[in-house]
Structure 1
Amino acid sequence: MMINIRERILAYGVNSLKDEELLAVILGNGTQGNPVIDLSKKIVCNSNGLDLSLEQLMSFNGIGVAQACKILAAIELGTRKIQADSLSETVVSVDEIGQHLIKKIGNAPQEKLVTVYLNNSYHVIDEKVVFIRTVDQATVHPRDILREAIGMSATQIVVAHNHPNGSLMFSKNDQEFSLRLKKCCHLIGINLIDHLIITKKTFSSLKTLNLI
């Protein structure tokens, strides 16, 4: 089975593999009476998007400390790769920004507010996580966003934040913040292109809903 998986990687690339097959490659071997692909399927089926702890992994028959550490390291490496990804310095659309941010913050367990900074030609200058919500934190202020914009001479911005609960609905606070930000942007000559709500699979636009 492992030979077939390796042949598929060589022929079609690693992105052709299913989750359980990727996990099987990481584990390498199963145990007697528990083939690696079957073990991998059990782990995938009994996890929430591979959100697993060391203790949870070791609860599976055939997974010891070494194998559990391999899996956690691979998952963490993938997470860091996503966090390191950024939009190219080319002309981008709101849809491209939304699709990019689905991968970047769509699965984040905490609410994050990201700002994408652009110039007049819609070329991306930079993107920054401006805010991560915790229990004892207040909401973000427009100045936190605009300070960065002024520093990099951005003339346009797109703001977005994820909803870990999967809702695409804007709250009253979301709209009030967007209107306040838009007013502040106008005062210093910056265009607020849109405010997006990001979930695991899609996004919604406050501009499209005529809320700003």
Structure 2
Amino acid sequence: MSEKPYYLGHRKRLKERFKAHPESLQDYEIIELILGYVIRGKDVKPLAKKILDEVKGVANIFNVNEDIEGVGGETVLMFRLLQEFYRRVESAKVLEEKVFDNPEKVFKYLKYQIGFENVEKIAVLYLDSKNGLISCKIESAGTVNESYIPPREIVKKALLENAVSVILAHNHPSGNLTPSNGDKVFTETVESALSTVGIRLLDHIIVYKNGYLSFKKEGIL
């Protein structure tokens, strides 16, 4: 009678450790358990370590892609599902409070939508008179370090939505939250365009997966 592969016992022990003390597991061990639900009949510990090495740590885990040797479409899909799940959880928490009255809420709402992107994207939040969200549009995808949408398009959408105010946000894939001169000029241009039709620009927030910068808090807007 053949023995079971050694990694099956290892995986069982990992699960038991997780049930008892989840904080005791290393990052690669958590990834190992996740991979075990996608990749059957194989020791996935080496792949878990390789993934973390390739994406430069667990903070970047949603950057997993098929360019990493040993990673297939189902593995990428699993992490995309997790990313979408986290996005919905965070969005639901914010939307339960109904108002976007501070940049932290905007960050939590947008973190999993644009914070992990490898190219810049602009999000525009259209708000009612109580700072309640009417809609949020990811308006433009650009290059690695540039994203742009004509201010008149934002004004047009705001009028169609009967918005009273707007919040701009965009991501910096580099992780550097310092606004560029282009960011500042764009913000001023949008603020001016919105003001001509009586709509306020409340803030412009730069989003990264583990932090943000508020133009309002920094005194830029």
Q: Give the shorter-chain TM-score range.
A: 0.7 to 0.9
TM normalised by structure 1 equals 0.77
Q: Within 5 Å, which residues of 2 pair with 1:59-78?
A: 68-78=72-82
Q: Residue type matched to 1:41 in 2?
A: K
Provide the identity percentage. Answer: 28
Residues 124, 53 of structure 1: alpha-carbon distance in 2 compared, 3 angstrom cutoff: closer
Equivalent pair of 2:64/2:79 in contact (CA under 8 Å)? no
Match of residue 103 from structure 1 = 112
CA distance in 2, matches of 1:209, 1:45: 35
1:54 corresponds, among 63, 66, 78, to 66
User: Over residues 159-207 of structure 1, what are the superposed CA-to-partner deviations in whole Å (9 max), with x where a residue is unaligned?
Assistant: 0111111111112221111111111111111111001111231111222
2:141 matches 1:141: no
- CA–CA distance in structure 1, aligned partners of residues 217 and 80 of structure 2: 35
Q: How far 1:147 sits from its partner (Å)? A: 1.9
Distance 1:82 1:130, change over 3 A: farther
Closer, same or farther in 2 for the Cα pair 1:73/1:204, shift >3 Å? same
Number of positions where the alignment pairs a residue of Structure 1 with one of Structure 2:
199
2:183 maps to 174
Alpha carbons 1:102, 1:203 under 8 Å: kept = no
Name the residue aligned to 1:64: none
Q: Cα distance, 1:138 vs. partner?
A: 7.7
The amino acid across from 2:52 in the alignment is V
Kept in 1, the 8 Å contact 2:120–2:142? The answer is yes
Quote the Cα distance in structure 1 between the aligned partners of 2:154 and 2:25: 40
Residues 27, 102 of structure 1: CA spacing in aligned structure 2 closer, same or farther, 3 A cutoff? closer
Change (3 A) 1:71 1:143: same
Letter in 2 for 1:69: G
Partner SS state of residue 6, structure 1: helix
Which secondary structure state, in structure 2, belongs to the residue aligned with residue 88 of structure 1?
helix
| Conservation of the 8 A alpha-carbon contact between 1:82 and 1:104 | no
Q: Is the deviation greater in 151-160 or in 72-81? A: 72-81
Give me the whole-angstrom Cα distance separating, in 1, the residues matched to 2:51 and 2:147. 38
Tell me, yes or no, if structure 1 residue 200 matches structure 2 residue 209. yes
Gaps of 5+ in 1: 59-66
* Partner of residue 161, structure 1: 170
Unaligned runs of 5+ in 2: 1-9
SS in 2 for 1:110: coil
Q: CA deviation at 1:18?
A: 5.4
Q: 1:10 to 1:204 in 2, by over 3 A?
A: same
